[in-house]
Structures are given as C-alpha cells and as structure tokens.
C-alpha cells in the first residue's frame, strides 16, 4: 500500500510540475479512498455551526438545573427550599369564614402543614363566638399538622358584628409583614403557596395571588367614563388583568391599616350597606397606593365548597356597578392593567 501511495504522489508531482498540499491530501486517500456522502458533510457542517453549539450549551445547562431541582441540592442550591428561609417569620394566613366549620377545619389543617406559615388567624363574624371544643380541636390540629420546629400561632379574631370589612381589620401581635388572605373553602397547595410568597417578597407593596380579574373602558357619556368588570373568562380571552381577588392573595400588613383607617368612609359605607365588593375595594386601595399592577401567580387551587356567588344570576352586573361606584367615589380609576404572569419553572415543563 505504501508503494501505491508513493507512486500516486509522484504522478501528481510530475503532472503539474509543482507540489500541492491539496493534491497530496486527495492522493493520500489511496485507491480505496472516496469522499464522504453529501448528507454526512451537511450534518457535520450543521452540528459544527455556532448557533447549534449555543443551543446545545443552553440545553445542557437547562438539563442540569432541572435535574438538580428534581434530586434536591446542587452545589448548595435548593430551588424547593422553603421561602421562609429568607424571612424567618414567613407569612400569616388570614382565613375568612362564615358558618362552615367543616370547611374551616380542612383549611386550618392544610395551611398548618405549610412550612412558611407563621400564624393562622380566623376572622369570626358570627353572632355566637366559637365553642371551646372547636377552638381546642383546631389548636390540636395545628400542632399535629405542622412539620416545623416552631409551631404556628393560632387565633380567632372575634368581631361583634357581621360586616365584610372585618376581614381586613388590623391584627394585633403580627410577626410577619406578609398576609395571605384566603376564604375558608380555598386550598392552595403548599409548594404553590410558598412560590407565591417568594414572588410577593420581590414586590411586597403589591398584591400577589391566584384569582385575576380585569376591567376595561365601556363607554363615555356626558363626560363620565364607565367601565366593565371582567371575570376569569375575560382574563383568559384578553390575556390581561388589573385585579387580584383577596380570596387567595398576598399583601402587606400595612394595607389592613390603610383599608380600615385611610380608605374613604364613603366606600366603607357602601360596602356595609350593599354587603358586597370588599375585594374590589382592596384592589383599588392597593393600586391607588402603588400606581402599579398586581401580580398573578399561575398555580392550581382547589375550591372545596359549593358554587360561589360568582355563578349567581346578575353577579356580573353587580360587580360592574361596584366598580363604577368606587371609581366615582375615588374620583379616578387607579387600576393598572398588565399581562405579566409569574410561573414556577421548577414545576412546569412549559412556561
């Protein structure tokens, strides 16, 4: 074979008179050498391209990040570590209830099991105070369900009258800035709740939660602007929202003070008389204070009660009226629309 190579090289040199490295490379393939198929060369060129190399690098990095989130720590980083690590006190769960002790029991048991829960307060507005047996039973459940060394505080916040404003009354002896306001029939999984808490920590002056709503300009008549209130399907269709309902949301403790003592008395009177829309009032209050939109957190929540008032006939018209009446009382429309959604990439394949 070596003699064949020499003979070919000699012929190439003799034929042209000059030595060419290209000719030598071609000749060195020997009598059995053939060029690679066209498809193989194209694949090699594609794989060797800078864009493909960048894409492959990103895929490898993403794989390691995702893999580390599945198995635990990766060089000291644990994406599923409790969000309370950066805030020793975590959050206070504020449960609004009304004559549904069985749902209240389920709700207290669940939120006591969440590692970020520092305290659980139950807003009690019934004419009769909770029985001693109920209080003792719920305290026992909190101790049993909690998995943290420091057990959550548990307390009933008793009110002398049945009024919707009770759910936003200031709370004494709070140890956290974060308040998670929730209805007694709404269950948010602990990992989803902890993620929402981390989102709130990045923007602690806004509302962060799971139930978005929207508004849009309806018409202008005689110099007065009228708005429409949009429920979930409007949010889904338009891809925008401007409110987060307080049935499952985080907000700063200072808004309890502002709602009770600084919100216009005319709005308090309206809510007391009409017995509705305290959640819209809270959204307007926060937006008016911050001039910023709320943050919707993507996450599965479970409503364990019966169908809510949102499915009753005429609900949309009543919400429209509340929104426009509040805007009139404020003298402006403080809500700020947005289309931003917070997603926990550690629990989502597509985000």
Q: Where in the sequence numbering do the catalytic residues fall?
A: 279
Q: How many Cβ atoms from other residues are within 10 Å of residue 33's Cβ? A: 10
Distance CA(95)–CA(123), nearest Å, equals: 6
Contact 310, 231 (CB under 8 A): yes
Q: How many CB atoms lie within 10 A of CB 155?
A: 17
Q: Tokens 């009933």 label which residue?
A: 156
Of the chain, the end-to-end C-alpha distance in Å amounts to 60
Q: Which residue has the tokens 């060419």?
A: 20
H-type alpha helices, 91-130:
101-112
Burial class (CB in 10 A: 0-12, 13-18, 19+), 89: middle
* CA distance to 21, 26, 60, 186, per residue, from 30 (Å): 15, 8, 41, 78
User: Rounded to an integer, what is the distance from CA 193 to the centroid of its chain?
Assistant: 8
Q: Which two tokens stand for residue 285?
A: 């209050």
CA dihedral for 188, 191, 197, 200, sign (positive or negative): negative
Q: Are residues 293 and 242 in contact, defined by beta-carbon separation less than 8 angstroms? A: yes
R_g (Cα) of the chain, nearest Å: 32
> With contact defined as beta carbons under 8 Å apart, do 100 and 185 qualify?
yes
Q: Give the pair of three-digit tokens for residue 184.
A: 């007694």
How far apart, in whole angstroms, are the C-alpha atoms of residue 233 and residue 41? Answer: 52
């Amino acid at each position: 074979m070596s003699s064949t190579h020499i003979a070919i090289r000699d012929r190439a040199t003799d034929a042209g008179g000059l030595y060419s490295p290209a000719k030598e490379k071609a000749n060195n393939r020997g009598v059995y050498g053939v060029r690679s198929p066209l498809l193989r060369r194209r694949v090699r060129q594609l794989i060797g391209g800078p864009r493909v190399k960048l894409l492959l690098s990103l895929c490898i990095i993403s794989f390691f990040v995702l893999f580390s989130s599945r198995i635990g720590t990766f060089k000291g980083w644990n994406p599923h570590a409790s969000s309370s690590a950066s805030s020793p006190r975590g959050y206070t769960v504020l449960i609004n209830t009304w004559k549904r002790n069985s749902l209240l029991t389920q709700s207290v048991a669940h939120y006591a099991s969440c590692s970020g829960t520092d305290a659980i307060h139950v807003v009690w507005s019934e004419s009769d105070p909770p029985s001693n047996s109920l209080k003792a039973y719920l305290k026992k459940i909190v101790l049993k369900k909690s998995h943290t060394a420091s057990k959550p505080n548990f307390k009933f916040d008793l009110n002398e009258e049945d009024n919707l404003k009770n759910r936003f009354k200031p709370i004494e002896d709070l140890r956290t800035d974060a308040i998670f306001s929730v209805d007694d029939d709404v269950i948010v999984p602990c990992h989803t709740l902890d993620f929402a808490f981390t989102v709130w920590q990045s923007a602690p002056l806004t509302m962060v939660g799971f139930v978005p709503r929207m508004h849009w300009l309806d018409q202008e008549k005689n110099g007065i602007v009228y708005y429409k209130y949009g429920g979930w399907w409007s949010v889904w269709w338009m891809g925008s929202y401007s409110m987060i309902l307080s049935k499952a949301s985080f907000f700063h403790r200072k808004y309890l003070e502002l709602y009770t003592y600084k919100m216009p008395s005319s709005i308090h009177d309206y809510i007391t008389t009409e017995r509705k829309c305290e959640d819209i009032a809270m959204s307007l209050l926060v937006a008016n204070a911050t001039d910023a939109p709320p943050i919707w957190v993507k996450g599965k929540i479970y409503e364990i009660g019966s169908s809510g008032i949102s499915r009753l006939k005429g609900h949309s018209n009543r919400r429209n009226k509340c929104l426009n009446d509040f805007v009139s009382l404020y003298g402006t429309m403080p809500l700020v629309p947005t289309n931003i959604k917070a997603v926990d990439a550690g629990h989502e394949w597509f985000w």
